Each structure stands twice: as structure tokens, then as C-alpha cells.
């Protein structure tokens, strides 16, 4: 029988100096954290960099929990998604400040010529990102996490909302997205 050590137990071990527990957590969550960040920032290098920062925060988090005697257990995955979303938005805001463009969630495009199909796909992607950028952060976060396959309970914890309200909030977010997307396409 294979037993899986819980995330919270691994956090406890990290605070005692067990680096292999950190490795386990990293391997366990790396792909999904990156996946969320890539969806947010749309740029591989930037998503990888922020993923590293998120896990650095996780490492510090483990020690702070120990240091101040916090025994509160929580869903580490949800915690990571929450941190990743906020850091992703920070990066986007920084990008906005740097380039003085009122464009969020739209990655830089290069000037490489592309086949028509790819061009069309890029345009669709841009419209989707533009539409997401017009939504409140929590709606965007909720939609992306759900699209990644998270359960309602996981979405609730990551977005800091009541589990019972996720269905309604998702429906509203979906509606807001469809409206925003239509407006983007009609531009």
C-alpha cells in the first residue's frame, strides 16, 4: 500500500530542516502552479520565474508557521494558487507600469511571421486574455482554477470564498467573461 504524506505534514518537516520534504512539495505542485501562472501572464519565462518565487514563499511560510506556533492546517495547494494569482497580478501590474500600456494579461508578442491558423489562434488568445483582464481578479482566478480542474472546495479555499457560493460565483464570472469576450471580438 502506498501512503502519501500530507502537504501539511511536509510543511512541518520543512520547518524542522527536512529539505526532501520541500522537494516533494515542489514536485507535487510545480506543474499546476506554473500552469496557473502561464494562463495569467502568458509568457513561459515570466511564469517560470514567478513559480520560483511562489515556492520560495512556501519555504518561508513553513518556517513562519513553526516560528509563531501556528498549528492551523490548511490546503497547501489552495494557498499556492492564491499566492500565485496575487504574484501573477503583481507582475502584470509591473508590466503595465513599465510599458505604460493599459493592457493587462496580454503577453508581449514578437514580430515573427506566423501561419494563418496560428495567427488566428493568437488573436483568439489575446481576446480571451483581454476579456479576462476586464473582470475583477477574483472572477478571473475562479474561472482559471476551475478550468484547470480544481474542485469547488479547492476553488473556494484558493479564492477565499464560502464553498457553497462557488457555483453562483462561477456562473456570474462565466457570464461576465462571455460579455467581455463578445465586446472584445466586436471591437
Partner 1 sequence: MNQRENELDDVMEQLSILEPTAAESPRPAGPALADLKPQLQPRHNLINTFLRSLIMSQNRRMATAVATLVILFTIAFSFPAVRAAANEFLGLFRVQKFAAISISPDQIAILEEVANSGLTPGELVIVNEPGRTQDVDSLEETQAITGLSVRSLSALGEPSAIRVMDGGDGRLIIDAAQAQELLRLAGADPRLIPDSLDGASVDVNVFASVEQEWLDGTFLIQTESPIVNYPEGLDPIAMGEALLQLLGMNPTEASRLARSIDWTGTLLLPVPQNVATFSEVTVDGVSGLALTSVEGYGSALMWQKEGVVYILSGPSQTAELIELASSIE
- Binding-site ranges for partner 1 (CB under 8 A): 17, 19, 22-23, 26-27, 30-31, 34-35, 38-39, 42, 44, 47-48, 51-52, 54-61, 63-70, 72, 79, 82-87, 90, 93-94, 97, 121, 124-125, 128-129, 132, 143-144, 146-147, 160, 170-171, 174-175, 177-178, 181
Cβ proximity to partner 1: between 1 and 33 the closer is 33
Give 21-43 as a DSSP string: HHHHHHHHHHHHHHHHHHHHH--
Question: What distance in Å separates the CA atoms of residue 61 and residue 15, rounded to the nearest whole number?
Answer: 9
> CB of 77: closest distance to partner 1 in angstroms?
14
Is 93:64 a contact under the CB 8 Å cutoff? no
> CB of 34: closest distance to partner 1 in angstroms?
4
Cβ proximity to partner 1: between 6 and 20 the closer is 20
Question: What distance in Å separates the CA atoms of residue 82 and residue 174, rounded to the nearest whole number?
Answer: 20
> CB of 2: closest distance to partner 1 in angstroms?
20
Cβ proximity to partner 1: between 69 and 113 the closer is 69
Is 143:177 a contact under the CB 8 Å cutoff? yes
31: left (phi over 0), alpha (psi -120 to 50) or beta: alpha
Amino acid at each position: 500500500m502506498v501512503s502519501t504524506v500530507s502537504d501539511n505534514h511536509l510543511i512541518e518537516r520543512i520547518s524542522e530542516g527536512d529539505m526532501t520534504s520541500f522537494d516533494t512539495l515542489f514536485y507535487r505542485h510545480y506543474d499546476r502552479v506554473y500552469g496557473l501562472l502561464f494562463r495569467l501572464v502568458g509568457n513561459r519565462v515570466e511564469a517560470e520565474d514567478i513559480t520560483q518565487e511562489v515556492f520560495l514563499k512556501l519555504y518561508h511560510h513553513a518556517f513562519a508557521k513553526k516560528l509563531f506556533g501556528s498549528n492551523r492546517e490548511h490546503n497547501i495547494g489552495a494557498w499556492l494558487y492564491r499566492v500565485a494569482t496575487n504574484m501573477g497580478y503583481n507582475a502584470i501590474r509591473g508590466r503595465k507600469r513599465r510599458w505604460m500600456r493599459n493592457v493587462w494579461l496580454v503577453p508581449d508578442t514578437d514580430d515573427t511571421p506566423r501561419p494563418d491558423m496560428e495567427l488566428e489562434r493568437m488573436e483568439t488568445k489575446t481576446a480571451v486574455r483581454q476579456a479576462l483582464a476586464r473582470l475583477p481578479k477574483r472572477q478571473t482566478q475562479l474561472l482559471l482554477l476551475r478550468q484547470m480542474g480544481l474542485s469547488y472546495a479547492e476553488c473556494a479555499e484558493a479564492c477565499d470564498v464560502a464553498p457553497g457560493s462557488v457555483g453562483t460565483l462561477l456562473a456570474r464570472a462565466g457570464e461576465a467573461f462571455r460579455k467581455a469576450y463578445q465586446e472584445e471580438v466586436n471591437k
